[in-house]
Chain A
Amino acid sequence: MQIRTPQRRRARIAALAGSIALLAAACGGSDFDDGDDAADDGAEPTGEAPAEGVELTLMGWSSSPAEDDALNAIISSYNEQSENTVQFNPVPEYDTALQAALAGGTPPDVIYIDSNRLPDLVEAGALAPAEGNVEDDGDFYESLRNTFTYDGTFWCPPKDFSTLALVYNVDMFEEAGLEPPTTWEDLAAAAEALTDGDRVGLAIAPEYPRWGVFMFQAGGAVTNEDVTEMAIDSDANREALGYLEELYANGYAATPTDLDAGWAGEAFGQQRAAMTIEGNWIVGAMNNDFPDVNWAVAELPAGPAGQGTFVFTVCYGVPSASQNPEAAWDLVNYLVSPDSLIEFTGQFPVMPGRESLAGDWTDAHPELGPFLSGADYARPFQFVPGFQAVVDTLNDGIQGIAAGNRDVDEVIRQVDEAGQAELGG
């Protein structure tokens, strides 16, 4: 689950949707080239387990029983090999729970942190830095490391990541004699051709964490890369929003609730849509709930400015008020060790944050390659503290555009005003 910014429930519907939990963000458009940070590999390992075992709590959220099982398997092997014992505590309303835990002064030892929440937590002084505490941190994709770096400090290693890709119904495509679309024109044509009666071509939730990919593909974005200035008022964004506006207006695209579904993946699984744009989490949902649907994944079609997608990611953080920091980092290191990551992402098809494991992952999930390819050009879902209100305004506008009751220029103007007030002030 991701994007637990619950006020945007629609957003969450899709995001959290179903099955996985991954989340958000990886670094804005930067290449996943690695390399220069190899030096970090030498950071001293920390997290020697103390001789006396301590009881640790890992607080996070649960995206699906499948993820819980995969994580619990790793946790039990940790408990076997370590003096410490860990309990995984998945909570709903995670932000509220985290807030309570931190403000109460006795937080859990390790917490999930959505990339989008990192700035708030850092500003509040709630986190202990990961620098020097995480083994082999140079192996993480640079973009992910950047995502979890704020104010020049690396705060927490990524748990895993997911990207958005185009998920399509193979049978429907074959029946219509279509190939997976690679451009906006193809996508619109396929959506039109596959719309039939109760079925639409494309199901996408009306929210920035989905629609944003079209803005990237058109060369636009909400802000500049440093989130210091608004960039919403651009022809690229107008083109992207206009493109989607038309798909919805023609009935070729629809929202999940229009299709009687809780999230877009459900609409796709029920074959009410031929395509959807979702992340790795859809895999578990399809396998569990809709095993009979013949589906496949493709990279998102390229727009006028090329390819673009979101990366969603979560990291394991250690609160600055943790009672057992050494044991906590010991646990974190275990969770993000190559062996654990291979095991976890083998069972549960999110992607490991370590670049060295890309091959292992592809071997384990050859059919899911497009999710990993997206990492090359993906951008994170991450702004600055206080920016949530602006994202909310954009989401409201997007809902209005999808519903056909707001126009693109008006939405852009409103978001721009909201953002100017937030960033300028």
Chain B
Amino acid sequence: MNSLRARFSTNETLAGWTFALPALIGIAVFLILPIAFTFWISFTDWNGLSPPEQAEYVGMQNYRDLLTDPGVQRIDFATGIRNNLYYVLGVVPAQTTIAFALAVIVNQKFLRGRGFFRTAYYFPSITSSIAISIVFLFLFQRSGVINRLISVLLPGDVRLNWLDNADGIIHNILGWVGVDSAPAALADNDFMGLSLWQWLSGPSVTLFSIMILVTWTTIGTMMLIFLAGLQNIPPDVEEAGVVDGTSALQRFWYITVPLMKSPLFFVLTIGLISTWQVFDQIFVISSGGPQKTTLTPAFLVYREGFRNFSMGRATAIAFLLFLLIIVLTIIQRRIIKPERA
């Protein structure tokens, strides 16, 4: 075999590079070069209107505006981080647990029509995010389907303006127990320009609606990944458990879940990475409003770059977001690698 390989090796070098070259050029031009470009622009005040070479070098100014210098930019960035943090904390656990539960149920052999249900659950995942956002826009209208359904199920006429309501959910809940305004300790201390009370607002009702939308859309994909994992578990492992006389619940916790560690971590990490990039739904539904409660770093990149003519700042936000996602990816790889070996 070795001699055979040796004979082909010159050939293979040429062929290997020839085969890989088109893709490599593409990657260089549309992935590597753009990243380098982003990095450079983020140190300039380029407005996007004049040729980029006329942009002035401003050092770390864009980053300082976002992270340390008091002002609107820092408040907007902090608000974006806060909103996205709540978004991640809501969407990732919800999509993971519901998808896992559905995968376990869909994998039960004693149920019929599983193919149908799997298809039904996965269907939203393949549809356009824009189309789905429009459908939700319709469902969540003030006199729309959701409010009418709630009004049927609960006493009273619910007319919640889901998609234009800036009230933070945690603030609302605190309001119910009588905490209407910020305790001094929270109002007077701030981090990146937002008071601790503002950090603790929770997602606004509007953001919450978008979280429901995204969870709804992504469950199908996550479920399929879990399903693939579940089907990877050799049946004899569970059979062994049955023979040992353990209960179904015990088998689930002590046999199934540990074997599902790898898909579980995978779903969690892709969930984490994708939720930090939410854009389409916000573009269609709320454009960052009301009262900045659906502003996210990804939407800020678009707003600053393409609407406010501040490409320098927009690329700085993009770069910070990139760093965040890289860190999350490294964590993902660290956790998953040993499992796969």
Contact = CB atoms under 8 A, between A and B. Distances in A.
A and B touch in the complex (CB under 8 A): yes
Interface string A396-413: 100110010110000000
B266 interface: no
Interface stretch (B106-114, B126-134, B306-314): B306-314
B277 interface: no
B308 A124 contact: no
Contact of A96 (B141, B142, B165, B307): B307
Interface in A2-25: 5-10
A393 B291 CA distance: 8
A95 B164 contact: no
A403 B307 contact: no
A403 B205 CA distance: 13
A257 interface: yes
A125 B50 contact: yes
A388 B142 contact: no
Nearest to A258: B161
Interface stretch (A99-107, A281-289, A325-333): A99-107
Interface string B57-96: 0000000000000111101100000000000000000000
Contacts of A166: none
A121 B291 CA distance: 28
Given A124-B49, A258-B142, A8 B166 contact: no
Contact of B49 (A5, A126, A400, A406): A126
Contacts of B306: 93, 95-96, 99
Given A9-B286, A125-B50, A95 B307 contact: yes
A59 to B, nearest CB: 14
Contacts of B310: 386
Interface string B258-278: 000000000000000000000
Given A258-B161, A388-B308, A403-B290, A103 B50 contact: yes
A299 B221 CA distance: 57
A11 to B, nearest CB: 9
A390 B75 CA distance: 11
Most buried by B among A99, A393, A425: A99
Nearest to A125: B50
Contact of B290 (A10, A124, A385): A10
A149 interface: no
A98 B189 CA distance: 42
Given A255-B164, A258-B161, A390-B72, A7 B49 contact: no
Contact of A405 (B50, B51, B75, B166): B166
Summarize A's interface: helix, strand, loop or mixed. Answer: helix
B286 to A, nearest CB: 7
A208 B165 CA distance: 18
Contact of A400 (B141, B291, B309): B291
Interface residues of B, number: 35
Most buried by B among A260, A422, A425: A260
B287 interface: yes
A14 to B, nearest CB: 13
A99 B289 contact: no
A120 interface: yes
A418 interface: yes
A425 B45 CA distance: 15
A421 B71 contact: yes
Measured as residues with beta carbon below 8 angstroms from the partner, the interface class of chain A is 35 or more
Contact of B51 (A5, A105, A421): A105
Contacts of B165: 403
B26 interface: no
Interface string B117-157: 00000000000000000000000011100000000000000
B292 interface: yes
B293 to A, nearest CB: 9
A124 B47 contact: yes
A399 B309 contact: no
Interface in A125-152: 125-126
Contacts of A418: 71-72, 75
Contacts of A7: 287-288, 303, 307-308
A389 interface: yes
B163 interface: yes
A422 B70 CA distance: 11
B52 to A, nearest CB: 7
Given A7-B288, A400-B166, A405-B166, A120 B309 contact: yes
Contacts of B167: 403, 405
A6 B309 CA distance: 12
Contacts of A390: 72
Contact of B308 (A123, A260, A389): A389
B141 A389 contact: no
A396 B50 contact: no
A147 to B, nearest CB: 19
B307 A6 contact: yes
A103 B76 contact: no
Interface string B39-53: 000000001111110
Contacts of B164: 10, 255, 257-258
A99 B305 CA distance: 10
Nearest to A7: B303
Which 4 A-B pairs give the minimum distances between C-beta atoms?
A: A124-B49, A9-B287, A421-B71, A257-B164
27 contacts: A5-B307, A8-B287, A9-B286, A9-B288, A95-B309, A96-B306, A103-B51, A103-B52, A126-B49, A257-B142, A257-B161, A260-B142, A260-B143, A389-B308, A390-B72, A392-B76, A396-B292, A399-B289, A400-B166, A403-B165, A403-B166, A403-B291, A405-B166, A405-B167, A421-B70, A421-B72, A422-B72
Given A8-B289, A93-B306, A124-B47, 5 more contacts: A99-B48, A102-B49, A393-B72, A396-B291, A399-B166
